[in-house]
Amino acid sequence: MSKRQLQVGQILYTNTLPVYFYVNLDRFLGKADFIQQYPAQLNKAMADGIIDVGPISSFSYAEHEDQYVLMPDVCVGAKGPVGSIFLFSKRPIDQLDQARIALTNTSATSVNLLRVILEKFKGMSLEYTTMRPDIKSMMEEHDAALLIGDEAILARQQDLGYYVYDLGQLWYEHTGYPMTFAVWAIRREAVETHGKLLHQLHEEFVRSKNKSHADCSEIVQYAHQHFGGDVSFWEGYFTGLIHDFTQEQIMGLEHYYACTADLGLLPKPVKVAFWATDNITTMSTS
């Protein structure tokens, strides 16, 4: 019996575009399937063994670290404002104690990051409801709403009159660390069955990432055509996002795991464990 094709995840948001845009798909014809979903769906598909490799919420990696290893060199992060993870609020953030907060059902990292910021850093007590990411219905019965990805970008563009807080910025102000929102995980058994293909995939991701960061004009054009908004917004967005999984990103991420464990959101703080990429050529720009 021939072995099953490698199932590769892809986040349905523009934030991972630089890592996929220049991937040479011809190399994977008949060998891999690319599956586009929202982060929370990818988290579940990866945990269920339906997807073998791809970006997931960094929080979800910590929940399943015994089953996954991480692909080096790629992540979705920011040092300061991320530009697509916002808390929209009817009141200034420091007046949100006892508030009712609607959380997008597409996220795992940011919903727990929000809890770290409000509960651990600001000592507040909140009531949360998880909902579909629609700003209007979220705000009907809640004081604030958390959105991520393109839904957050589009809600921000509407200028609905709410206070808007960027979670990357809040995290940086409180800790001095960058934040890593998504990581590329590999199920441990896929390392055994698809090692060569994973190396090729890693090579393509790193090449695409480097090309995109050297010149983001094609990606900016693509995002502008598909989502509207100003060209200058997209330039700023892709320039601000970090896709290099550097030591500093790892330190920030492990600090986040310690904070979430402290709140009881994770059973224990987790350390980042990479795929042992024997003869991998690391082409990180940093």
Ligand X SMILES: C=C(O[C@@H]1C=C(C(=O)O)C=C[C@H]1O)C(=O)O
Compute the least distance from the CB of residue 239 to ligand X, in Å.
14
Which of 9, 149, 178, 252: binder of ligand X (CB under 6 A)?
149
For residue 197, what are the contacts with CB-CB under 8 A and spacing of at least 6?
Answer: 6, 28, 31, 32
Under the binding rule (CB under 6 A), the answer on residue 107 touching ligand X is yes
Give CA–CA dist 232/20, Å, rounded.
22
Which of 6, 46, 182, 250: binder of ligand X (CB under 6 A)?
182
How many residues at the interface with ligand X, by CB under 6 A?
A: 17
Site string for ligand X, 82-101 (x = CB under 6 A): x-xx----------------
Q: What's the distance, CA 162 to chain centroid?
A: 24
Of residues 72 and 149, the one with the C-beta less far from ligand X: 149
Of residues 72 and 77, the one with the C-beta less far from ligand X: 77
Compute the least distance from the CB of residue 195 to ligand X, in Å.
26
Angle between helices 149-157 and 217-227 (to 10 degrees): 70
Q: For the chain, report the end-to-end CA distance as a whole number of angstroms.
A: 43
Under the binding rule (CB under 6 A), the answer on residue 249 touching ligand X is no
Tracing tokens 């090579």 back to the chain, one arrives at 203
Among the residue ranges 7-15, 130-138, 184-192, 228-236, the one whose residues contact ligand X (CB under 6 A): 7-15
Compute the least distance from the CB of residue 59 to ligand X, in Å.
6
For residue 29, what are the contacts with CB-CB under 8 A and spacing of at least 6?
Answer: none
DSSP secondary structure letters along 100-163: EEEEETT-SHHHHHHHIIIIIIT----EEEEE-S-HHHHHHS-SEEEEEHHHHHHHHHT--S-E
- CB atoms inside a 10 Å sphere around CB 262: 13
Under the binding rule (CB under 6 A), the answer on residue 147 touching ligand X is no
Give CA–CA dist 64/188, Å, rounded.
11
The amino acid sitting at 265 is: L
Site string for ligand X, 46-65 (x = CB under 6 A): -----------x--------
Under the binding rule (CB under 6 A), the answer on residue 246 touching ligand X is no
Compute the least distance from the CB of residue 128 to ligand X, in Å.
14
Let me know: does 149 contact 32? Beta carbons within 8 Å: no
Compute the least distance from the CB of residue 130 to ligand X, in Å.
12
Under the binding rule (CB under 6 A), the answer on residue 181 touching ligand X is yes
Compute the least distance from the CB of residue 175 to ligand X, in Å.
17
For residue 48, what are the contacts with CB-CB under 8 A and spacing of at least 6?
Answer: none
Under the binding rule (CB under 6 A), the answer on residue 169 touching ligand X is no
What is the contact surface with ligand X in residues (CB under 6 A)? 11, 13, 15, 39, 57, 76, 82, 84-85, 107-110, 148-149, 181-182
